[in-house]
Chains A and B, each alone.
Chain A
Amino acid sequence: MADVTLSPLHRADGSATFTSNGYSVVAAVNGPIEVQRRDELPEEAAIDVAIRPAAGVGGVRERHLESILQSTLRHVILVSAHPRTLIQVTLQIISSTEGSFNVGDLPQATSNLPILPALLQASILALLSTSIPLSMTLTATLVAVDGQRLKSDPSAEELKVASSIHVFAFSSHGNLLVVESEGEFGIETWEEAYQNARLACRGDEENDSESEDVSMDSDNDTKLEDVLRIAVRQKVAREQKWKLDLRSATT
């Protein structure tokens, strides 16, 4: 299950760590801050994403991931609320199941998709920790397909033998934000993977609408949206603690 810490870094405006399935990412957000003239957008905030790999310096692989994240976060953050500013998201990969910590051990051509859900989740948590106005939150997950079998949160071995791997990210409104699928698959398999990912991210929506409060204490907290919700609830509780302390002190 995913392990989340909000605001572990003190000097950044907001930060979060996200650990799940062998991938661990720490994210820091600074913003809105002053923007360089050439990056300045007159009507919205510029978003800058920087990804650092677990070992070595970033290369073209990281640039590709950055561009996926950048174009996603542009729609998640209410960029029009902060025109002519910069929101800077820095992500440091702490560990990944690709394992090797030797620089240059990982061929550039290997797929960079498995880390993407963790990067998306960490960045959205850091943005929540920064209290930057967002239009929605998102949840992301990885599905591997091996022949006819679907596997969410696959291990490194399962990824190696998988015939195709899929990353899906859903917004809190239920829209499909990001799709990255590679390998060899039919469109039916893709739809199955989509349903599978949707279930992992957003839970069984039909059940939820029928009985909101029953689902809260059932085993439904395995869905990723609840991980997000619990993390924020804990953060709010911690930040409100002084109020409760004050109240108990006065009585």
Chain B
Amino acid sequence: MAIKPSPSDSTSNPVQTLTFPALVFAKLAPTTFLTAHLSSPHGPLRPSGRSPSQVRTPTCHTGSLTHAHGSAVVRCGDTAVVCGVRGEILRAEDIPDYKPQPEEDARRDYEDEQDEQALKITIMAEEEKKLAEIGSGGHNRNSQSPDRGNEDEQGRRKRIRREDSEEMARLGLLVPNLELATGCSPDNLPGGPPSLLAQTLTQRILTLLHTTHLLRMGDLRLWFHPRAPSSTPFKPADEGEDEDLARPSVKAFWALYIDILFISLDGNAFDAAWLSVLAALKDTRLPRAWWDGDRETVLCSDDPSEARVLDLYDMPVALSFGIFEGDGESKGKRWVLVDMDGFEEGQCREGGTVVVGDGGRVVRIEKDGRGMVGVKEVRDLVERAKERRMEWIGVLG
């Protein structure tokens, strides 16, 4: 006997649809939850309300740690990270197997060092002059010729930058260390050795610091000037004078300890950490230090006006991304999500980072996973990273 449902039945006994709040849905069926958001009829939108290619705007505070030479607090969404840079003096005599530079190189570096100071002044003067010319409406007829002359100069600078970072790597002058604080994310349990994530991030930051040739070795060398540095430093040694004392030499180095601490981690650890490192290095002021020949030790000046900032060659911008693959009806459909939060990171099975430097040069591309990203996606991501540059410049000031 068939039971016929009468219309009156359904009105008195309405179909019970299972409903629960969005948060519960996200916990129970995360993939379906994210798919539903991304395949919404109003265009793909993430649970956070961002579009797939929209990043979280970072905020940055510098100089909040008083005991560090430079520091920064960076926040992107719920990811918050503190970075402190501390310079420690590494004496050349304490370095095992330390080979002083050949004399010519030392002389070149020393002269560069002096030139650099002079150059800064001339560049500033030139720029002022240029500005004045533009202001007065005069043509700059010589605008072509300096570029040509600079090509040789550029090649030389490139070589020097490369040698600089090789020396930094050899001496280990940059020591980043990344720590995920207890409770910064639910996965991070107290105690125990540094997690695989922390170690991997440390290594990635370390290699990026070196492969981008970010810092100048000149900023990290501590010289011994046998005489007043302004008066003819390379006058041939007089007879009877100790030759060692006659020429300037490098007696010590600044080693930069870059400590990165995650207070809160909600996805995209690398971008936040890298931005904080850049901001902290930009903020770093090392006191003027010199080797005192009589006391045989390094002395530092306590005059803040003599402290020097670090010259950063570049500002490489990082952009991390993930590939999310839908389920259910949208199976096989995929979205490229940039700057993922913690929830999205858990759902993506493929991810990576592109880092773009000055003038659109790519300095790093890394990616692993299932092979859903092709050349076209990488090209788009590099473009997106270039756009992000302006944002980072705004944040870093």
Tell me the A residues contacting B by CB distance below 8 Å. 60-61, 63-64, 66-68, 71-72, 75, 107-112, 170-171, 173, 175-187, 190-191, 194
Pair count A-B, CB < 8 A: 106
* Interface pick from B141-149, B196-204, B388-396: B196-204
Q: Which of B199, B352, B371 is close to A63, meaning CB atoms less than 8 Å apart?
A: B199
Q: Which of B204, B362, B370 is close to A190, meaning CB atoms less than 8 Å apart?
A: B362
Tell me if B360 counts as interface (CB < 8 A to partner A).
yes
Q: Is the CB of A191 within 8 A of B375?
A: yes
| Cα–Cα, bound, A63→B203 (Å) | 8
Q: Is the CB of A194 within 8 A of B375?
A: yes
| Cα–Cα, bound, A64→B199 (Å) | 7
Which residues on the A side are within 8 Å of B227 (C-beta)?
A: none
Q: Is the CB of B368 within 8 A of A68?
A: yes
**What are 24 residue pairs bridging A and B, where the CB atoms are less than 8 Å apart in the complex?**
A60-B200, A61-B203, A64-B199, A71-B368, A71-B369, A72-B368, A72-B369, A75-B371, A108-B206, A109-B209, A111-B211, A176-B367, A177-B369, A177-B370, A177-B371, A179-B365, A179-B378, A181-B364, A182-B363, A184-B363, A185-B362, A186-B362, A190-B365, A191-B379
| Cα–Cα, bound, A186→B360 (Å) | 7
Sorted from nearest, which 7 A-B pairs have the closest CB atoms?
A: A175-B371, A109-B169, A64-B203, A63-B199, A181-B365, A107-B169, A75-B370
| Cα–Cα, bound, A187→B210 (Å) | 21
Tell me the minimal C-beta distance from B122 to chain A in angstroms: 28
Tell me the B residues contacting A by CB distance below 8 Å. 168-170, 172, 174, 196, 199-200, 202-204, 206-211, 349-350, 352, 357, 360-375, 378-379, 382
Which residues on the A side are within 8 Å of B174 (C-beta)?
A: 109
Closest to B201 in A: A64
| Cα–Cα, bound, A72→B369 (Å) | 5
Tell me the minimal C-beta distance from B275 to chain A in angstroms: 19
| Cα–Cα, bound, A40→B168 (Å) | 42
| Cα–Cα, bound, A184→B208 (Å) | 11
| Cα–Cα, bound, A64→B172 (Å) | 18
Which residues on the A side are within 8 Å of B373 (C-beta)?
A: 176, 179
| Cα–Cα, bound, A63→B379 (Å) | 29
Q: Is the CB of B196 within 8 A of A63?
A: yes
Tell me the minimal C-beta distance from B367 to chain A in angstroms: 5
Which residues on the B side are within 8 Å of A67 (C-beta)?
A: 196, 200
Tell me the minimal C-beta distance from B388 to chain A in angstroms: 15
Which residues on the B side are within 8 Å of A112 (C-beta)?
A: 203, 207
Q: Is the CB of B369 within 8 A of A183?
A: no
Closest to A72 in B: B368
| Cα–Cα, bound, A107→B173 (Å) | 11
Q: Is the CB of A110 within 8 A of B363?
A: no
Q: Is the CB of A109 within 8 A of B172?
A: yes
Q: Is the CB of B365 within 8 A of A109?
A: no
Q: Is the CB of B371 within 8 A of A176?
A: yes
| Cα–Cα, bound, A182→B366 (Å) | 8
Tell me the minimal C-beta distance from A136 to chain B in angstroms: 8
| Cα–Cα, bound, A187→B204 (Å) | 21
- Given A64-B204, A109-B169, A179-B366, A184-B361 contact (CB < 8 Å): yes
Closest to A191 in B: B375
19 new A-B pairs (CB below 8 Å) besides A176-B373, A177-B369, A194-B375? A63-B199, A63-B203, A64-B204, A67-B196, A71-B368, A108-B169, A108-B206, A112-B207, A177-B368, A177-B371, A179-B352, A179-B365, A179-B367, A179-B373, A180-B365, A181-B366, A182-B207, A182-B364, A183-B363
Q: Is the CB of B370 within 8 A of A175?
A: yes
